[in-house]
Amino acid sequence: MCGGRLNTELIKELYFRELETKNQHDSRPAFQVGALSILGGLLLFGYQHFRPICYGFSVAFWVFFVPALLSYMLSLIQVLRANLGHSYERLPAADILYDYYLKLQDYYARNRDAAGSADDEFAEFLARHMVLATSRNTHSNLSRSSRHYSAMRALAFTVVFAIASAVVVLLAEDTRRSEEPQAVSPPSMKGVEPMSDEPKPTQTTEPQSTPEKPPGKPPEPSNIVFKGTEEPPKQKIIQLEKREPTRRDDTSKK
């Protein structure tokens, strides 16, 4: 009896371990899809921005780019194979198991002459089905593990070759910029005015005197307008300057 109980515990441990391994495999695509997206963008960037300037750079780029592209495609295929098309097995739902156990009890209650008991047959049923499920799940997990390993190895090769091709692209771009003719600006000469066709104004030594205009007639002061209920605004007091008598004033006095 101890041996049967020990075997049942071992079967349960193997059964749940394979289900836990399945969950680990199901969580891997998040990292793999992110890595494939970044590497795919890096390869596309290198292909679009590569401008060959000589035969050596072209050969170096394609020597690194082609293996990177092939390893990228291999990694993508292995990721798809590792996450698609695998079947797993597990025990029936708890309500179905309980219903089956009740039916076994009812059967042995009606057939008292039958060999065995409901508990023994139910335990044997669970052990048999867990063994079948564990066997199928083990094969699926082993297949997925090998494909995940191949995908990660291909990803590693893709990273190496993609970085190498990106370095070639950067070197080619740097070389192309250094070989382009740069526009040379004319040297600036301090103190020298630029030549122009417009005539220059002649400079005169004597300042030209502008004729003074005769004083105009002073404007007439305007009246102050205000409402009858308001106080008239104060006028600005103007102090009259003393004016020297002119010849016209003398004749008027006479």
> Of 173 and 224, which is predicted with more confidence?
173
pLDDT for 1 = 42
50, pLDDT greater than 50? yes
pLDDT band at residue 71 under the 50/70/90 scheme: very high
Q: For 115-149, what is each residue's pLDDT tens digit?
A: 888 899 999 999 999 999 999 999 999 999 999 99
Mean pLDDT of all residues in 88-104: 92
Rounded to whole angstroms, how far apart are CA atoms 4 and 183? 91
More confident residue, 234 or 47: 47
The predicted pLDDT at position 167 comes to 86
Helix (H) or strand (E) holding 21: helix 2-26
Please enumerate in sequence order all residues whose Cβ is within 8 A of that of 42, keeping only pairs 6 or more positions apart, or say none: 162, 166
pLDDT for 221 beyond 50? yes
Categorise residue 55: left if φ over 0, alpha if ψ from -120 to 50, beta otherwise: alpha
Q: State the pLDDT at residue 228.
A: 45
Instruction: State residue 4's pLDDT score.
Output: 46
Say if residue 233's pLDDT is above 80: no
Residue whose entry in the numeric block shows the structure tokens 């590693």: 156
In this prediction, what percent of the chain has a pLDDT beyond 70?
Answer: 67
pLDDT recorded at residue 70:
94
Q: Where are the domains of the chain?
A: 2-179
Q: Which residue has the higher pLDDT, 40 or 241?
A: 40
pLDDT for 216 equals 53
pLDDT tens per residue across span 170-213: 887 777 777 666 545 555 555 555 555 555 555 555 555 566 66
CB burial readout 126-164, b (16+ within 10 A) else e: bbebbeebbebbeebbeebeebbebbbebbebbbebbeb
Q: What pTM does this model have? A: 0.60
Say yes or no to pLDDT of 112 above 90: no
Q: Of all residues in the chain, what percent carry a pLDDT higher than 90? A: 37
- Segment 73-85 shows an average pLDDT of 93
